[in-house]
Structure 1
Amino acid sequence: MIIASKSPSALRRPAARTAIVAAIIFVVAHVVLLLGITAPDKLYFDEVHYVPAARQMLQPVLEGPILNPMHPPLAKEIIALSIKAFGDVPLGWRYPAALFGTLALVAVYLGALALFASQERAIAAMLLAFFNQMLFVQSRIAMLDIFALAFCLFAIAAFIHGFRQARPQSAFALAGLAAGLACACKWSGLFVLATCIAIVVMIRLMQGWRARFADANAEDWYRPDLWPDFRLRHFIVCFVLIPAAVYLATFVPLYGLSFSDIIEAQRRIFADNTTTAIAGHTYMSSWPSWPFLVRPVWYLFEKVGDDRFAAVVFLGNPLVLWPALIALIVALRDWIVARGRDAFLVLAFYLGPYLAWALLPRTLGFIYYYLPAATTASFVLVYALTRKGAPRWLLWAFVAVGCAGFIAMLPITVAAIETSIATFNRLMLFQNWI
């Protein structure tokens, strides 16, 4: 029997379609995220820390101590470039957040496509990530989290692509590169890198133990023949050397080639991110409460007219994120009972960035630390909603419900829309949301 191989043009068609869809997502999301982004026309919430640090980077000679030394410099360097391009105005401060929020959505699409091999499911995952409200809010404020998130999502997309390959070296190297850039924005990027490392180590340990499933099949999360040519040297290059090199390179514009200054910067970041000697905060919350959306953070709430208020709350869309908890149980069952590869991966990239917070001694936490896990929850939802036997309409019905919740929250999500006390009271379902 003669088996015809695919022609080069046939192989190019899926790649071309993926590029076209990614470009459409980029353009549409970028326009939407920029609408009303200049409101308010002043610094608000943690912009008061990061924008002055970015301004300082534009000085010909740094004067005084370096501002905001408790975080790596890459995200602030990007904000500084935007201020130089657009001016020291709200658009200059916030444009990079909108850009990287757009890139984060593209990365969700690419990650879901690598995971599910379905354009429909990938687009649904991207929409759910958008409608969860968290990504949208962080894409319109000059904070560091959206930059780290975008790089983390590209790292996840590259890793999932490599996971399915016999030779994952190139994909894993890209994952390490993106994870290193994520760490250079905020150290929470380490959680995704650690998740990738933990998966590879787990696979290699089981292979070393010659573990086998009695009724093995192609959909198992573990196979003894996985990545036959991936060696220790490849692991070190992909997940240690590349991330470390790109991370340290981002300090050079700020500290030059002074090795001692760069090392001291790491000591300061470590001390600030592991300290327990931090005063309480009105909006602080602990990591077990984040998936339940117990305590939001009000970025902005100020009176702008008669019964008109500009409001921005970081809460999350309950119609998306509460059902995600049920989807997690479904995925956990499928991983344990059916050994599903997709179930394993969606669980790993939700639980890894989330449960890592339980290991830190830091006592001060906020729900926006949940942003990476809340975003990858879209993978978990799509997985659960498209399991074998589920009706096709169920996924899109859920996307429509998520969209309705997102629209309902816009008065307390976009400062330019404004809200009234009546609308505010309708949306505040619980006293602790205020």
Structure 2
Amino acid sequence: AFDFMHFTQTRIATIDVYITFFVIAMYYFMYYYCSMSFYDTPLYKTFVPLGLCGICMGLGIASKWTGIYAGCGLALLFFAHLLRRYREYLYAKAHPGKSTNGMEHQQIVKKFPDYTVKTIDFCLTFFVLVPAVIYLLSYLPFVDNSHPGLFDRMLTNQTSMFNYHSGLEATHPYSSSWYQWPTMVRPIWYYSGYVTDAVKEGISAFGNPVVWWIGILAFIYILYLLIRNNAFLCSLTGHTQTECSTDTATTLSHREYAAAAFLAVGYLAQYLPWFFVTRITFIYHYFPSVPFVVLMIVYSLMQWKKHMSDRTFIIVCCAYAAVAFALFLLFYPVLSGQPVDVDFVIKYLRWRDTWVLISG
């Protein structure tokens, strides 16, 4: 709630607000779906979160092309979930006449082929056809007298947008590269106002340091946990699974491992594609990744809770939230365009020489 960019971007209503909202929604519904199994849940009930996920993906792409990045992450998560169902099917097939968690293996073997085909057919509808229709209908308010047809209007604009972005060779004083975003090397300066020589106004978009900077550590920690608890990744480090798992402090349950992997995929799906973009980019392109940064911090805190007393854990969480809130209050003038003393900004808010928060 007190991340700087969340406040700044939503307050001035940039388009990134909408794509970020739909990314949160689509990943929520995919997480909900991945927590279900069509072996012990009626198939139509599993279609509800899956369908809502597809609709949110369509709305996200209709808001901004980068919704496609999120869609790639969703596809990876969906097929990983389907692979898990397939492994359960193989196990049940190899052990007929038995049951797991009250589910007869005979029923698993019977359901898997039919339910898998139906689920994939459903996904083709709600992750291909429905998003395409939503995207097309989003052009209803788009006026172009030279292209009166809705489909023609949409197609022409796709070509125009692609040509613009692929051929753009512009520069900008507040542009920044993907590797500079998490460390906030270059905030984007949106607004400058003058009151007096000593009092000025400014609006800048960047992150709350205790969210973004600690988020880097949280992501590294989650990658570490995933490697420590994965047999294949563990082998790449030259260790056996037994050796990797001897440290009980870093041992994850299956549910914890799945949650960590889910967050890592969601974060990288939004962030990784920008590594290959050659046109100028800005720090606000990192905005859809920020919800995953927050969730990774919370996940890390929950892991560290295992080694703290309840009292200590509550103190740590409250102290962390208090610092985030205090920094929000401290930086509020340069996030909202409020008149602020120039000397105060230079002395207390300009933590890096590359931060331009007010003019002069």
TM-score normalized with structure 1 length: 0.63
Q: Does 1:286 align with 2:157?
A: no
Please name the residue that 1:236 is paired with: 124
TM superposition shift of 1:381 = 0.5
Structure 2: give runs of 5+ residues left out of the alignment. 39-45, 92-99, 102-107, 231-256
- What is the correspondence of 1:207-356 to structure 2 with a 5 Å cutoff? 228=112, 229-230=115-116, 231-254=119-142, 257-275=149-167, 277-338=168-229, 340-356=257-273
TM superposition shift of 1:379 = 0.5
Select which of 365, 384, 387 maps to 2:281. Answer: 365
Select which of 316, 319, 329 maps to 1:407. Answer: 329
Change in 2 beyond 3 A, CA 1:392/1:140: same
Q: Whole-Å Cα distance in 2 between the matches of residues 170 and 296 of structure 1?
A: 40
Contact 1:346–1:376 (Cα < 8 Å) also in 2: yes
Contact 2:187–2:355 (Cα < 8 Å) also in 1: yes
Contact 2:198–2:342 (Cα < 8 Å) also in 1: yes
Select which of 177, 181, 196 maps to 2:74. Answer: 196
Contact 1:308–1:420 (Cα < 8 Å) also in 2: yes
Q: Counterpart amino acid of 2:269?
A: G
Please name the residue that 1:389 is paired with: 307
Contact 1:287–1:358 (Cα < 8 Å) also in 2: yes
Select which of 52, 61, 68 maps to 1:183. Answer: 61
CA displacement 1:242-264 (0-9 Å, x = unmatched): 22111111112325643222211
Q: Whole-Å Cα distance in 1 between the matches of residues 22 and 272 of structure 2?
A: 19
TM superposition shift of 1:368 = 0.4
What secondary structure, in the 3-state scheme, does the structure 2 residue paired with 1:301 have? strand
Q: Counterpart amino acid of 2:340?
A: T
TM superposition shift of 1:180 = 1.1
Q: Whole-Å Cα distance in 2 between the matches of residues 155 and 396 of structure 1?
A: 29
TM superposition shift of 1:203 = 4.0
Task: Give identity over the alignment, percent.
Answer: 26
CA displacement 1:225-247 (0-9 Å, x = unmatched): 8x953432122123212221111
Select which of 343, 348, 353 maps to 1:422. Answer: 343
Q: Whole-Å Cα distance in 2 between the matches of residues 272 and 172 of structure 1?
A: 34
Across the aligned residues of Structure 1 and Structure 2, the Cα RMSD in angstroms comes to 2.4
Contact 2:8–2:335 (Cα < 8 Å) also in 1: yes
CA displacement 1:34-55 (0-9 Å, x = unmatched): xxxxxxxxxxxxxxxxxxxxxx
TM superposition shift of 1:146 = 0.7
TM superposition shift of 1:410 = 0.5
CA displacement 1:327-354 (0-9 Å, x = unmatched): 1112112222235011111111111101
What secondary structure, in the 3-state scheme, does the structure 2 residue paired with 1:312 have? strand
CA displacement 1:188-209 (0-9 Å, x = unmatched): 1111112101222344457668
Relative contact order higher in (CA < 8 Å, ≥ 6 apart) = 2
Please name the residue that 1:123 is paired with: none
Please name the residue that 2:253 is paired with: none
Q: Whole-Å Cα distance in 2 between the matches of residues 257 and 431 of structure 1?
A: 51
Select which of 17, 34, 52 maps to 1:174. Answer: 52
Q: Whole-Å Cα distance in 1 between the matches of residues 142 and 205 of structure 2?
A: 31
Please name the residue that 2:12 is paired with: 141
Q: Counterpart amino acid of 2:344?
A: T
Q: Whole-Å Cα distance in 1 between the matches of residues 156 and 320 of structure 2?
A: 49
CA displacement 1:349-405 (0-9 Å, x = unmatched): 111101111133x32000000001122211000000111334431222211111111
Q: Whole-Å Cα distance in 2 between the matches of residues 431 and 259 of structure 1?
A: 49
Q: Whole-Å Cα distance in 1 between the matches of residues 215 and 23 of structure 2?
A: 20
